[in-house]
């Protein structure tokens, strides 16, 4: 399901990303039944707790979602049947997918929520952002996933295609939901 | 109806608040509610507007996607733990090859049109009290199955107004 093809139909890509987002919402919705003690448990002092994983994703959402919204709104491009992943965008999106053994990645300082004193509202914010993301995915049907470019959080000079940006964001979500699963498993064994 | 449900070879269970479908997806399945309840809503400028409910022994479907095979604007969310039987459009198309089944389907659609007309009158009715009474008369079971805040949203009134009307 998480296989990324370099060439695909725009509509198929949008459908598949909407479906993945639905599953992500459902997975996070289930977390709400846990108490704060569980949601803020960490394996060691430098490891993230569940809420920090979600807040990390929220920080990315805060960066990307308004930009995507404006880019779609201001774009004069037309939708295209084919989407061809860009070299850099494809690399970013793929690099986000978790490997069988969750590989460690470097977190940018401004996206690190460690010890940020978080509450359950973080979950609501995350779900709200996913609904927004789904709305933007449906809006993106009217524009070119190839020609609309989005600035990355690394540098405003590095831009990737809208289609790759969506894949990147959702793969990044999947990555940290896997991390949340492993936190839950470790907590049970602790 | 039993003939229709027997087509299903898949059952899904959803927890409270889980989404069966979100905006923009093309979901052409028909769902039969074995237990639990769901609501169908649209987002109007990020404000949720509930347009329909499904509870025990109801069919629920994104009729727009089902009929057109195009993306649907609807969200469908479980209100509580819900068990659904899934009937795919492919299964249903085979079902429709029989004359008697086509008659049944026409009856279901006719019934749906009548329900939609009632709903249209609901929405165009100015008085909140009258809107409430129309729905109460038509679907008393709704008030047993669905939490107040969702019914209030469906009736286009605040939860406070609804609870006041229920008492009066």
Size of interface A-B (CB pairs under 8 A): 43
Q: Which 3 state secondary structure label does DSSP give B52?
A: strand
Q: Cβ separation of A30 and B15 shorter than 8 Å?
A: yes
Answer yes or no: is pLDDT of A161 > 60: yes
**What is the homologous superfamily of the domain A7-189 according to CATH?**
dinb family like domain (1.20.120.450)
Q: Which residues of B touch A29 (CB under 8 A)?
A: 15, 17-19
Q: Domain-by-domain residue ranges, chain B? A: 2-97
Q: Tell me which of A14-18, B18-22, B41-45 is least confident.
A: B41-45
pLDDT for res A162: 97
pLDDT digits (tens, 9 = 90+) for A85-130: 998 899 888 888 877 666 677 787 778 877 777 889 999 999 999 9
Distance of CA A152 to the CA centre of its chain: 13
Identify the CA nearest to B5 among candidates B74, B78, B60.
Answer: B60
B17, B22, B71 member nearest A22 (Cβ)? B22
Distance of CA A62 to the CA centre of its chain: 11
Q: Cβ separation of B43 and A131 shorter than 8 Å?
A: yes
Q: Which residues of B touch A134 (CB under 8 A)?
A: 22-24
* Residue linked to tokens 């026409």: B106
Which stretches of chain A are DSSP H helices? Answer: 10-31, 36-39, 50-74, 87-96, 121-139, 162-189
CATH of B2-97, one of 3.20.20.70, 3.30.70.2740, 2.60.40.10, 2.60.120.10: 2.60.120.10
Instruction: Give the mutation candidate from B25, B65, B76 for the A interface (greatest A CB count, under 10 A).
Output: B25
Answer yes or no: is pLDDT of B104 > 50: yes
Q: Which residues of B touch A135 (CB under 8 A)?
A: 23-24, 43
A22, A25, A135 member nearest B43 (Cβ)? A135
Residue B45's pLDDT band, with cuts at 50, 70 and 90, is: confident
- The verdict on B128 touching A (C-beta cutoff 8 Å) is no
Answer yes or no: is pLDDT of A182 > 90: yes
CA nearest B73 in A: which residue? A138
Identify the CA nearest to B61 among candidates B32, B24, B92, B83.
Answer: B32
pLDDT for res A100: 63
d(CA A30, CA A54): 13
pLDDT for res B112: 92
CA nearest A28 in B: which residue? B18
Average pLDDT, chain A: 90
What average pLDDT does this structure show over A21-47?
A: 94
């Amino acid at each position: 399901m998480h296989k990324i093809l370099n060439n695909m139909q725009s509509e198929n890509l949008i459908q598949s990303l909407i479906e993945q987002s639905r599953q992500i919402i459902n997975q996070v919705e289930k977390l709400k039944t846990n108490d704060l003690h569980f949601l803020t448990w960490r394996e060691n002092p430098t490891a993230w707790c569940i809420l920090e994983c979600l807040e990390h994703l929220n920080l990315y959402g805060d960066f990307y979602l308004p930009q995507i919204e404006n880019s779609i709104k201001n774009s004069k491009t037309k939708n295209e049947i084919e989407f061809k992943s860009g070299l850099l965008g494809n690399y970013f999106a793929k690099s986000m997918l978790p490997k069988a053994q969750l590989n460690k990645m470097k977190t940018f300082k401004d996206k690190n929520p460690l010890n940020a004193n978080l509450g359950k509202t973080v979950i609501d914010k995350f779900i709200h952002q996913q609904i927004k993301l789904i709305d933007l995915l449906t809006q993106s049907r009217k524009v070119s996933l190839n020609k609309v470019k989005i600035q990355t959080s690394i540098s405003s000079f590095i831009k990737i295609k809208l289609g790759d940006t969506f894949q990147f964001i959702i793969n990044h979500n999947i990555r940290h939901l896997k991390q949340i699963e492993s936190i839950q498993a470790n907590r049970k064994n602790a | 109806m039993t003939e229709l449900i027997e087509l299903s070879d898949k059952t899904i269970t959803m927890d409270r608040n889980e989404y069966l479908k979100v905006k923009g997806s093309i979901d052409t399945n028909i769902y039969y509610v074995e237990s639990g309840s769901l609501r169908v809503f649209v987002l109007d400028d990020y404000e949720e507007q509930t347009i329909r409910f499904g509870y025990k022994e109801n069919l629920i479907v994104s009729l727009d996607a089902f009929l057109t095979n195009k993306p649907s604007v609807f969200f469908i969310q479980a209100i509580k733990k819900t068990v659904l039987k899934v009937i795919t459009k492919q299964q249903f198309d085979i079902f429709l090859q029989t004359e008697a089944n086509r008659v049944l389907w026409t009856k279901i659609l006719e019934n749906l049109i009548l329900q939609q007309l009632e709903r249209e009158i609901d929405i165009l009715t100015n008085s909140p009290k009258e809107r409430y009474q129309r729905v109460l008369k038509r679907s008393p079971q709704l008030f047993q199955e669905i939490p107040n805040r969702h019914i209030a949203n469906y009736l286009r009134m605040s939860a406070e107004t609804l609870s006041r009307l229920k008492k009066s």
